[in-house]
């Protein structure tokens, strides 16, 4: 919903903070209903006009505008008559809610929080532009003041590749602009998002081809600028680059195959990158053949390039991981605002959570006297890092007030326990019931037992430290009761 609003506001040229508006919409108690959008627009000072009209009357309006569809609970952006023709959800005899948004002069100053966020976004874009300009100056400087003439075209192509990759990288980080979106979707079967978010765009789970492409061109540019003009390394670099660019060809063919046959959609930036990769090979083969010596040592430039490549890739992944954490934090903040602002949302959120019977079962792992006044039930995934951190806090709390708390531990089945017999939870419960329960130092031994698991977190190694021969009847029974 908020993406459609952003697209419309960008199209009509209103300057605003995308992040601030998105958070306002998502944090509204009525989200995703249309009233959440109207409320957000009011808060940032934008005026809107909404009217329910038949499709016949809608054709007489001036474009562009938004149409809200009740059945789908979403907005559609209508730029022209062709877009309106495609809206089959609104028949000629049915009505749709048409929304037009306008902005007064200096509306952005009406909400100080919105204005501050807007300034930060502008500063980020300025800094990004400054980085690109500085990079361009470095490239041009190296071409005219040191780099051999034969490498000039290679440098320019590498620069074109890194700029295209950086645009895709920015989209992956959630930084969008109207110009980029229009460029990506301006034509038939063109959809950058479909291509770059597909399973084919992943090298590993958290590593995308966009990350690899950006690192590749950045490492190439660094190699050319800071190594290429050193005469003693030119021969080795030339031979290395030939093999490197030769490897581009199968990658390009694979990219075109996936886009044409599998996804049936094209990404303009991907096509630009593919073209750059092909041109790198062509220009190097035809214009630098006299510099290549296939008998030269290419180990040094290979190691240097690989080091720079993986260093840049690591930096990108760190930024990406931080960006994902911020997105998750933003999502949780929006959810918490909705819960705070609406009783119905709070009840819905609570009722949709997993329910656990808080009654303490026999042979269930616990610490503290059962008669202690405060009882805590801890439900944790034995392989979850955040759960481990919370576990440490719970243990610290108990050690401070051992006569106040009675703490019971239950274990959710992890994906790592699939096809394991016994599961990790069953093994821990059975061992505790046979070896620790009822001892004179039950609480101390239980804490040590669970702390050691938190350090090892691998059932095979843990079983070596805590061997047990059993049919695991108790563990299976308790584990099954906990699941129910």
If asked whether residues 151 and 283 sit together in one domain, one would say yes
Domain at 466, CATH number: 3.40.30
* Enclosing domain of residue 213: 146-325
**Quick one: pLDDT at residue 446?**
92
Asked whether residue 180 falls in the same domain as residue 54, the answer is: no
Among 170-179, 308-317, 448-457, which is the least confidently predicted range? Answer: 170-179
By CB atoms closer than 10 A (0-12, 13-18, 19+), residue 255 is: buried
* Percent of the chain at pLDDT exceeding 70: 75
446 within domain boundaries: yes
Residues 177 and 296 in one domain: yes
How many other C-beta atoms are found inside a 10 Å radius of the C-beta of residue 392?
A: 11
Task: Indicate whether 315 and 192 sit together in one domain.
Answer: yes
Evaluate if residue 180 carries a pLDDT over 50. Answer: yes
The pLDDT, as a whole number, for residue 322 is 75
Given this model, what pLDDT does residue 186 score?
66
- The reply to whether 105 and 152 lie within a common domain is no
Q: Is residue 261 part of a domain?
A: yes
CA 233/CA 296 separation, integer angstroms: 10
Q: Judge whether 373 and 425 are in contact, CB under 8 Å.
A: no
Mean pLDDT of 130-153: 63
Answer yes or no: are the C-beta atoms of 14 and 101 closer than 8 Å: yes
- Output the pLDDT for position 126: 73
In a domain, 304, yes or no: yes
Give the pLDDT band of residue 422 (cuts 50, 70, 90).
confident
| Strongest mean pLDDT among 56-60, 221-225, 242-246, 292-296 | 242-246
**pLDDT tens readout for residues 210-231:** 999 989 998 888 887 766 555 5
**Contact (Cβ atoms closer than 8 angstroms) between residue 27 and residue 40:** no
Please state, in angstroms and rounded to a whole number, the distance separating the CA atoms of residues 461 and 445.
19
SS3 assignment, position 5: helix
Tell me, yes or no, whether 69 and 156 share the same domain: no
Q: What is the pLDDT of residue 484?
A: 47
Residue 341 lies in a domain: no
Is 310 found in the same domain as 387?
no
- What's the whole-number mean pLDDT along residues 239-251? 85
DSSP letters for 170-221: HHHTT---HHHHHHHHSSTTB-HHHHHTSGGGBSSSS-BHHHHHHHHHHHHH
Beta strands at 95-102 and 374-381: parallel, antiparallel or unpaired: unpaired
Residues 270 and 151 in one domain: yes
Two tokens, residue 358: 């808080």
- For 4-31, what is each residue's pLDDT tens digit? 888 888 888 888 888 788 888 877 777 7
Q: How many CA atoms lie within 13 A of 215 on its CB side?
A: 19
Q: 472 and 371 in one domain?
A: yes
Co-location of 287 and 158 in the same domain: yes
More confident residue, 291 or 122: 122
Same domain flag for 171 and 307: yes
C-alpha Rg value of the chain to the nearest Å:
30
Question: Looking at the predicted structure, is the pLDDT value of residue 136 above 60?
Answer: yes
The pTM assigned to this predicted structure is: 0.54
Please report whether residue 120 resides in a domain.
no
Token pair of 245 as six digits:
């660019």
CA distance 128 to 190: 26
**54-58, 88-92, 315-319, 459-463: segment of lowest average pLDDT:** 88-92
My answer on whether 280 and 379 are in the same domain is no
Last residue of a domain, one of 109, 138, 157: 109
Does residue 79 fall inside a structural domain?
Answer: yes
Angle value at C-alpha 219, between 217 and 221, nearest 5 degrees: 65
């Amino acid at each position: 919903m908020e993406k459609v609003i952003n697209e419309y506001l960008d199209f009509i040229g209103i300057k605003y903070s995308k992040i601030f508006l998105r958070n306002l919409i998502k944090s509204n108690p009525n989200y995703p209903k249309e009233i959440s959008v109207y409320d957000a627009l009011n808060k940032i000072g934008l005026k809107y006009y909404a009217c329910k009209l038949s499709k016949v009357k809608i054709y007489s309006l001036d474009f562009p505008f938004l149409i809200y569809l009740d059945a789908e609970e979403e907005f559609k952006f209508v730029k022209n008559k062709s877009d309106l023709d495609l809206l089959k959800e609104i028949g000629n005899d049915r009505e749709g809610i048409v929304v037009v948004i306008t902005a007064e002069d200096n509306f952005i100053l009406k909400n100080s929080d919105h204005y501050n966020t807007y300034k930060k976004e502008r500063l980020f874009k300025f800094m990004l532009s400054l980085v690109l300009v500085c990079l361009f100056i470095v490239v041009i400087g190296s071409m005219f003041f040191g780099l051999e003439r034969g490498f000039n075209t290679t440098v320019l192509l590498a620069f074109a590749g890194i700029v295209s990759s950086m645009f895709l990288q920015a989209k992956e980080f959630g930084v969008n602009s109207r110009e980029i979106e229009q460029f990506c979707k301006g034509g038939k079967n063109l959809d950058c998002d479909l291509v770059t978010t597909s399973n084919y765009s992943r090298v590993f789970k958290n590593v995308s081809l966009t990350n690899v492409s950006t690192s590749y061109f950045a490492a190439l540019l660094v190699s050319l600028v800071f190594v290429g003009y050193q005469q003693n390394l030119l021969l080795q670099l030339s031979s290395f680059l030939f093999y490197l660019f030769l490897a581009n060809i199968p990658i390009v063919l694979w990219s075109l195959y996936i886009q044409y046959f599998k996804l049936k959609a094209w990404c303009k930036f991907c096509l630009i990158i593919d073209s750059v990769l092909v041109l790198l090979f062509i220009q190097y083969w035809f214009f630098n053949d006299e510099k290549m010596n296939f008998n030269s040592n290419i180990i040094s430039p290979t190691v240097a390039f690989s080091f720079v490549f993986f260093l840049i890739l690591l930096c990108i992944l760190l930024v990406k991981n931080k960006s994902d954490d911020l997105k998750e934090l933003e999502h949780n903040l929006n959810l918490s605002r909705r819960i705070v602002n609406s009783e119905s949302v709070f009840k819905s959120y609570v009722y949709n959570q997993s329910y656990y019977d808080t009654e303490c079962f026999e042979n269930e792992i616990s610490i503290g006297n059962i008669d202690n006044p405060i009882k805590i039930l801890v439900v944790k995934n034995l392989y979850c890092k955040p759960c481990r951190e919370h576990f440490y806090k719970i243990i610290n709390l108990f050690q401070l007030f051992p006569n106040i708390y009675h703490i019971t531990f239950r274990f959710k089945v992890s994906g790592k326990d699939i096809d394991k017999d016994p599961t990790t939870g069953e093994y821990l419960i059975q061992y505790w019931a046979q070896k620790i329960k009822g001892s004179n130092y039950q609480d101390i031994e239980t804490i040590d037992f669970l702390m050691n698991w938190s350090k090892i977190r691998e059932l095979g190694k843990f079983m070596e430290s805590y061997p047990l021969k059993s049919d695991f009847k108790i563990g299976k029974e308790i584990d099954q009761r906990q699941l129910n």
